[in-house]
Amino acid sequence: MPKIRVLVVDDAVIVRSRVSKILSTDPELEVVGVAANGRIALAKISHVNPDVIILDIEMPEMDGLQTLLAIRQKYPSLPVIMYSTSTHRGAIATLEALSLGASDYATKPSNLGNVEAATQHIQDDLIPKIKVFGTFFTPSAITHPVVFPIRSDIQQVEVVAIGVSTGGPNALAVLLKEFPADLSVPILIVQHMPPMFTKLLAKQLSSKCQIPVNEAVSGQILEPGHAWIAPGDFHLIVQRDKTMVRLVTHQASPENSCRPSVDVLLRSVAQVYGAGAIAVILTGMGQDGLHGCQCIREVGGQVLAQDKATSVVWGMPGFVVNAGLANKILPLNQIADEIMQRIRFDQVPPSYL
């Protein structure tokens, strides 16, 4: 197999050097060039022919957002992973980059001087994304898919729980803006993102949607017509409190290398809402949400999965589909309407599934 060719673009010498060195230790990767700013990078692309570009956001002469726009004009399908700082400014710029067509993002190590920690961070956060976008990725088929009996009765929908990762901010914007202001159920979301990013994402989505979108806070009571996003580095669960259901956040160990984890949320949703839950698995790498969807189906709940054609990465939904857990597989622009139809029906004929 040929190596994945990577172009590293960053104005900081230490970042270019460290990232290039760490990437080069992976036998599947080859750093074919580095650039100190966007202008140099654009001039190099045609010469080094990269499979993936790692692009810094804050650079002199031509910053990352300007460079991204130029790349998209000339190379619309070339994968670009934004390499941002875990700061308020970095998070805002990263969300803007994703809306402008960046494939994904990774955060820089907080301390490049700590060689061991920086190396581990890059190996865990950046390299897997390079490999996903630098190769053709399809989830492995499940040998023995789980088979659930067709139910003749479906409990009234009480909650919608969404799991999403790579490509999530744009997918959530498309999905959530279709829900009406009088939506009769609450929405819970796990988007794989670090602290600060999730709060800004919630604010950004709320400005585009008819329903309010907020970062979840422990103790909040779930209300219909509201959406909550799990805060970065915290799991989100629901707990019943007499006649109410409350949000709870905690920092138990990561699951599937994720915190927040979709599986953690869906398990609690299955316990609290049972057959009244709809789980929605959108674009994302990895298989977080697979076990949680099985929990949802086991209690009689419903599972919808985004199709491959409209997913940035058909990892999370692909694993759910291949396991036989999805009641329906849909393009992104049809999922909101499907959810609304299922919310409106207390009794759904078997053929609807």
| Domain definitions of the chain by residue range | 4-134, 159-352
Q: What percent of the chain has pLDDT over 90?
A: 83
Domain 159-352 has CATH 3.40.50.720: no
Dist. CA 282–CA 269, nearest whole Å: 17
pLDDT at 264 over 60: yes
Burial of 239 (0-12, 13-18, 19+ CB in 10 A): middle
List pLDDT tens digits, range 174-218.
999 999 999 999 999 999 999 999 999 999 999 999 999 999 999
List pLDDT tens digits, range 22-79.
999 999 999 999 999 999 999 999 999 999 999 999 998 899 999 999 999 999 999 9
Which tokens sit at 103?
């494939």
Which tokens sit at 19?
């990232």
Task: Say what the pLDDT of residue 347 is.
Answer: 43
- Residue 92: how many CB atoms within 10 A of its CB? 17
Dist. CA 252–CA 265, nearest whole Å: 12
Task: Say what the pLDDT of residue 133 is.
Answer: 95
Task: Say what the pLDDT of residue 353 is.
Answer: 43
Average pLDDT over residues 248-265: 97
How far from 6 is each of 30, 33, 48, CA to CA, in Å? 6, 7, 9
Q: To the nearest whole number, what is the mean pLDDT of the chain?
A: 91
Task: Say what the pLDDT of residue 218 is.
Answer: 97
Q: Topology of 4-134 in CATH?
A: Rossmann fold (3.40.50)
Those residues with Cβ within 8 angstroms of residue 7's Cβ, 6 or more apart along the chain or in another chain: 31, 32, 33, 34, 35, 41, 44, 45, 48, 50, 52, 53, 54
pTM of the model: 0.92
Same CATH topology for 4-134 and 159-352? yes
Residues recognised as catalytic: 165, 192, 288
- DSSP string over 147-176: --PPPS--PPP-EEEEEE-TTHHHHHHHHH
pLDDT at 150 over 80: no
More confident residue, 211 or 142: 211
Which tokens sit at 262?
């979709």
Residue 38 and residue 66 in contact, taking contact as beta carbons nearer than 8 Å: yes
